[in-house]
A = this chain, B = another copy of it.
Amino acid sequence: MHKKLEPTIHDIARELKISASTVSRALQNNPRISQKTREKIAITAETMGYRPNSMASNLRNKKSNTIGIVVPLINRYFFASVISGVEEVAFKAGYNVVISQSNDLYDKEISIVHSMLAIRVDGLIISIAMQTTTFDHLKIFRKKNIPLVFFDRIVPEIETNKIVVDDCMGAFRITQHLIDQGYQRIGHIAGPQNLTTYQDRRKGYMEALAKNGIAYDESLVVTNSLTLEDGEKAAQYFMGLPDPPDAVFCSNDTTALSAMIYVRDKGIRIPEDFGIVGFSNEPFSRVVTPSISTIAQPAFLMGQKAAELILNQIEHKEKTFKTLVLPSEMILRESSKRKKD
């Protein structure tokens, strides 16, 4: 017995002694095909185990039914959650989701983006790599008019849909919280300043200081890549200052954690003697001791919204671009609450 191939509409047509066009139309429930034939075809298709070949219809329709998503790292909780949200919405709408990760490398990002173009994704959702500072590879999408959505790490100079959380406001509020708790000298661990995300967090920090009449002290701001090691080094730097800070706002929870461990191991009490807050609400920040105050970003929602935006562009040919700013939520925990309420 030779290999059994997948049945096609032609096989169904032959079986029923009708034309392939009729089969095609019937399967799409085209009203021009009589009810009777449609049912007959549906049944035959079912019994023959027919499944439409999407490569063929995609080719003909010039539509891949695929959404691409590019993130720095898939196994980062925030990004994984965004992907999860995208998948949920896309799947319901009948789209497939192709993923790839840049590992925060510029060259890989370029390579990925080109591959996404090659497979003719109907739209691309992307959060750019830390390394990325030029954007020709993304401008192609605008030129070719392929829907493009940036999330979290956006590119201001490209006009398209964008979704961010209110980084500035989040940073402002949590810095204000530190001030409210009576901390006097507040340091900041800032992330790469080529990313608006981290620019904004820094801005929120500075605005909170300004609003409370606290002078901005550049020596209290450390800029790095926000790894565990970076957090520890920053903490070490802070503690070595002649007049060290008594609290620090970290641009992510990872550095908040390693800084906290460093400070704690120095025998400094948290939050009594030193306050720490992070950003992102990583799962661990809730369960470490002391638990870390932070800003929660609605990652899953962000993914859903990103998918909705891109689907609108794809299907309704929405022409206007918006920038969604999703609200962040301040979550206060042990690491910064030294006042009793």
Contact = CB atoms under 8 A, between A and B. Distances in A.
Given A59-B56, A84-B74, A120-B53, A115 B101 contact: no
A91 B112 contact: yes
A151 to B, nearest CB: 15
A296 interface: no
Given A118-B51, A287-B257, A87 B100 contact: yes
Nearest to A91: B100
A81 B75 contact: yes
Contacts of A84: 73-75, 101
A148 B98 CA distance: 19
Given A75-B77, A117-B51, A119-B54, A98 B101 contact: no
Contacts of A52: 118
Given A97-B99, A118-B54, A284-B288, A74 B64 contact: no
A59 B51 contact: no
A75 B99 CA distance: 14
Interface string A100-131: 11000000000010110111100000000000
A98 B257 CA distance: 34
Given A101-B87, A283-B283, A96 B74 contact: no
Nearest to A62: B55
A278 B245 CA distance: 38
Contacts of A133: none
A283 B258 CA distance: 13
Contacts of A6: 144
A72 B115 CA distance: 27
A207 to B, nearest CB: 31
Counting every copy of the chain, the complex holds 2
A13 interface: no
A120 B75 contact: no
A271 B283 CA distance: 23
A52 to B, nearest CB: 7
Nearest to A56: B59
A289 interface: yes
Nearest to A53: B120
Nearest to A300: B75
Contact of A287 (B51, B114, B284): B284
Nearest to A74: B84
A287 B58 CA distance: 48
A75 B83 contact: yes
Nearest to A112: B91
Nearest to A117: B51
A58 B56 CA distance: 9
Given A75-B81, A91-B112, 16 more contacts: A51-B118, A54-B120, A55-B58, A55-B59, A55-B64, A55-B120, A56-B59, A74-B81, A75-B77, A87-B99, A87-B100, A96-B98, A96-B115, A96-B119, A261-B287, A284-B284
Interface of A: 6, 51-56, 58-59, 64, 66, 73-77, 80-81, 83-84, 87-88, 91, 96-101, 112, 114-115, 117-120, 144, 257, 261, 282-284, 287-289, 299-300
Those 10 A-B pairs whose CB atoms lie nearest each other, nearest first: A289-B289, A75-B80, A284-B284, A80-B80, A74-B84, A75-B81, A55-B59, A75-B84, A55-B58, A287-B288
